């Protein structure tokens, strides 16, 4: 790639920003010492960002600070966002991307506002019926893409088919060596299970399944999301949001109980192996929901995540652009129209 990967970063959004965003940038730079194939555009109050860059000793010609004096507040409602969030660091990121100066935008700020202004500024791709949020989820063999995670609480079969094409394009951009294997989340794996809408979506996916874009693996139940047999899990935004949050809650509940059960002695003896266990399942590694179906990808980092989690979402942006997500998506969407 001769053109540099250009990432627009809202430096002001989320808890403890811009401290955590700048620290995240620092960690990213330290991991990419050998690369100069990217540029990070940091949006926010120039003075504050420069002082934080100084504080964290970040000094690189791969960074550009672009002044935006306003910040989207956490209380801002999506309905009034278009009126109130012009010239904020979040808005300016998306605008920068629209003008072709960035390939992707990243923010840890207000989710609802980010979805609304991204959609308004970047516009939906012609071939897509609804944009949706995709997330990463650990599985036995690596990682899943799961979508929709909550952008659309009610979906029809065509939406789910679009999500399958978008999600498998994302998977391919992140893991170019691997083949996307799509499953529909359902209450059973037999063909007779589920709603009429799911049965129609399943039939369409069967017709679209091919070696080039994705292989359709049929229905999957909640307990097999992490089995690794499929790596692109498709569902409506209501179910996806509840499945994701239930998994998060369960993981937290178990690790908390584990901690209180282990006594000091066993903790000492288990320290290194528990560290390995924690590292593998560290939720920060899966930080970043990807908004797909617009004329450009937008990544939402968790608002409460720390600098390491923010680093992972910068890295996610880098990988997505490097993996040519948008041309993957266009290729996949042609598939729908050709059947």
Q: Point out which residues bind a copy of itself (CB under 8 A).
A: 138, 140, 150, 153-154, 185, 187, 194-195, 221-227, 235, 237-239, 241-255, 257-258, 261-263, 265-266, 268-274, 276-277, 280-281
Q: Minimum Å distance from CB 318 to a copy of itself?
A: 27
Q: Minimum Å distance from CB 120 to a copy of itself?
A: 20
Please report where in the chains the tokens 């989690």 appear, as a residue. Answer: 309
**119 DSSP 8-state letter:** H
Taking the least distance from each CB to a copy of itself, the nearer of 123 and 245 is 245
Taking the least distance from each CB to a copy of itself, the nearer of 158 and 255 is 255
Is residue 309 within 8 A of residue 19, CB to CB? The reply is no
Residue 148: is the preceding peptide bond cis (ω within 30°)? yes
Q: Minimum Å distance from CB 71 to a copy of itself?
A: 22
Q: Minimum Å distance from CB 108 to a copy of itself?
A: 18
Taking the least distance from each CB to a copy of itself, the nearer of 83 and 272 is 272
C-alpha span between 224 and 189 (Å, rounded) = 10
Q: Minimum Å distance from CB 24 to a copy of itself?
A: 23
Task: Describe the strand order of the beta sheet including 215-220 as a list of residue ranges.
Answer: 63-67, 38-44, 5-10, 104-107, 298-300, 289-292, 132-139, 142-147, 232-234, 181-185, 215-220
Taking the least distance from each CB to a copy of itself, the nearer of 69 and 141 is 141
Taking the least distance from each CB to a copy of itself, the nearer of 43 and 219 is 219
Is residue 288 within 8 A of residue 316, CB to CB? The reply is yes
C-alpha span between 231 and 141 (Å, rounded) = 9
Q: Minimum Å distance from CB 41 to a copy of itself?
A: 31
Q: How far is CA 268 from CA 261, 263, 281, in A?
A: 13, 9, 20
Taking the least distance from each CB to a copy of itself, the nearer of 186 and 328 is 186
Q: In 249-277, which positions are buried (b, 16+ CB within 10 angstroms) versus exposed (e)?
A: eeeeeeeeeeeeeeeeeeeeeeeeebeee
Contacts of 7 (CB under 8 A, 6+ apart): 38, 39, 40, 41, 102, 103, 104, 105, 106, 314, 317, 318, 321
Taking the least distance from each CB to a copy of itself, the nearer of 1 and 268 is 268
Q: Minimum Å distance from CB 29 to a copy of itself?
A: 31
């Amino acid at each position: 790639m001769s053109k540099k990967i250009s990432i627009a970063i809202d430096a002001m959004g989320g808890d403890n920003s811009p401290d955590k965003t700048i620290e995240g940038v620092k960690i990213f730079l330290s991991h990419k010492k050998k690369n100069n194939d990217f540029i990070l555009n940091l949006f926010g109050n120039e003075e504050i960002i420069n002082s934080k860059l100084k504080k964290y000793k970040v000094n690189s010609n791969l960074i550009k600070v672009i002044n935006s004096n306003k910040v989207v507040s956490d209380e801002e409602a999506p309905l009034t966002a278009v009126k109130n969030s012009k010239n904020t660091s979040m808005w300016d990121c998306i605008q920068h991307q629209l003008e072709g100066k960035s390939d992707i935008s990243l923010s840890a700020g207000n989710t609802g506002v980010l979805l609304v202004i991204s959609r308004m500024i970047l516009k939906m791709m012609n071939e897509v019926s609804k944009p949706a949020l995709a997330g990463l989820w650990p599985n036995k063999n690596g990682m899943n893409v799961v979508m929709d995670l909550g952008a659309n609480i009610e979906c029809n079969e065509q939406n789910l088919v679009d999500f399958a094409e978008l999600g498998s394009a994302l998977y391919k951009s992140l893991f170019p060596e691997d083949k996307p294997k799509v499953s529909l989340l359902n209450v059973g794996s037999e063909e007779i299970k589920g709603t009429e809408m799911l049965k129609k979506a399943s039939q369409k996916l069967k017709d679209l399944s091919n070696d080039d874009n994705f292989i359709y693996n049929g229905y999957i139940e909640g307990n097999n999301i992490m089995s690794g047999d499929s790596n692109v899990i498709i569902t409506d935004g209501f179910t996806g949001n509840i499945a994701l949050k239930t998994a998060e809650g369960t993981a937290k509940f178990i690790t908390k109980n584990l901690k209180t059960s282990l006594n000091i002695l066993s903790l000492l003896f288990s320290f290194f192996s528990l560290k390995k266990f924690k590292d593998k399942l560290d939720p920060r590694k899966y930080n970043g929901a990807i908004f797909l179906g617009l004329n450009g990808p937008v990544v939402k980092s968790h608002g409460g995540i720390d600098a390491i989690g923010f680093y992972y979402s910068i890295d996610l942006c880098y990988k997505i652009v490097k993996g040519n997500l948008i041309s993957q998506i266009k290729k996949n969407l042609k598939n729908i129209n050709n059947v």
